[in-house]
Amino acid sequence: MSQTEQIIRRPMGARRFGRVNWLGLWTLTSREIMRFMSVWQQTVFAPLITAGLFVVVFSVALGRGDREVMGLPYLAFLGPGILMMTVIQNSFANTSSSIISSKMQGNIVDTLMPPLSAGEILAGYLLGAIARAALVSVVIGAGFALLLGHLPEHPLVAALFILLGALLMGGLGMIGGIMAQKFDQMAALTNFVVTPLSFLSGTFYSIEALPPFFRAISHANPIFYLIDGARYGFTGVSDASPVLGFIVCLATVVLVCGTCWYLLRSGYRMKP
């Protein structure tokens, strides 16, 4: 058995108990931040342009005639949804691209060799996703504040749901990166799972306008609660209870992150 296989098969959780490798955690987090900042034109600037195009297209197409949704001007209704959709897509892309690229290039061993537990590796990747989500959300949020002329109604609530969104989609990105064996599989997951869930979650419309059957399906989508919670944080208006949304999102985050931790601890499909 090669040294790489020994490292991968050794349970990460068995390396150390009761202590945190803060230096290793900081190094992994810094690497993830520097990785996306080194190509900021693609990882930060491009999503901002995409968000701006969404606002222009939908506000022109659907926002004419002072149209209102849930008692809000359509642009005020649309803004938080666009922001959250950008956050979750960037969080997912940050962790998934990092892991799948390392696996395909054969340097995933550089992450597995240091004395880091499964929990520390999980935290390092998620902190990188949170940093990217925070950067994107601050810039887009500032743009909407200037455009609409008012600040978020409940900024702490908005920040909480942005954090939950980064954790949830960052965790899903890790699961996708671990499970995928090549870039095509990762692209299929993005195109057929992440994108439909984000678009069919009340980003551009209120789910109250949907027929009962599709409304029930929307309530089963955790991304709906992320977008609805962000909308409440920015405007004070929501389709569902923010407390219910927080509970659903938190439970989903725990489930996803627990799955990530188990996969990392077992070394499943982490062989380069």
pLDDT digits (tens, 9 = 90+) for 222-241: 999 999 999 999 999 998 89
Look at 9-23, 185-199, 258-272 and tell me which has the smallest mean pLDDT.
9-23
Measured between alpha carbons, how far is 164 from 253 in angstroms, rounded to an integer?
A: 7
pLDDT in tens, 94-111: 999 999 999 888 888 888
What's the rounded mean pLDDT across residues 193-222? 84
Within 38-154, where are the H helices?
A: 40, 46-62, 74-105, 109-112, 118-148
**What is the model's pLDDT at position 210?**
82
Q: Is 149 exposed, middle or buried (0-12, 13-18, 19+ CB in 10 A)?
A: exposed
What's the rounded mean pLDDT across residues 62-90? 82
Pairing outcome for strands 68-69 and 72-73: antiparallel
The pTM of this model reads: 0.87
Q: Specify the 3-state DSSP secondary structure of 72.
A: strand
pLDDT in tens, 136-170: 999 888 888 887 777 889 999 999 999 999 999 99
Average pLDDT, the chain: 85
Question: What burial letters (b/e) apply to 150-172, b meaning 16+ CB within 10 Å?
Answer: eebebeebbbbbbbbbbbbbbbb
Which of the two residues, 95 and 269, has the higher pLDDT score? 95
Confidence of residue 244 (pLDDT cuts 50, 70, 90): very high
**What is the model's pLDDT at position 174?**
95
Q: Name the percent of the chain lying above pLDDT 90.
A: 45
- Give the largest CA-CA distance in the chain: 70
Which of the two residues, 232 and 208, has the higher pLDDT score? 232
| Residue for token pair 């938190």 | 250
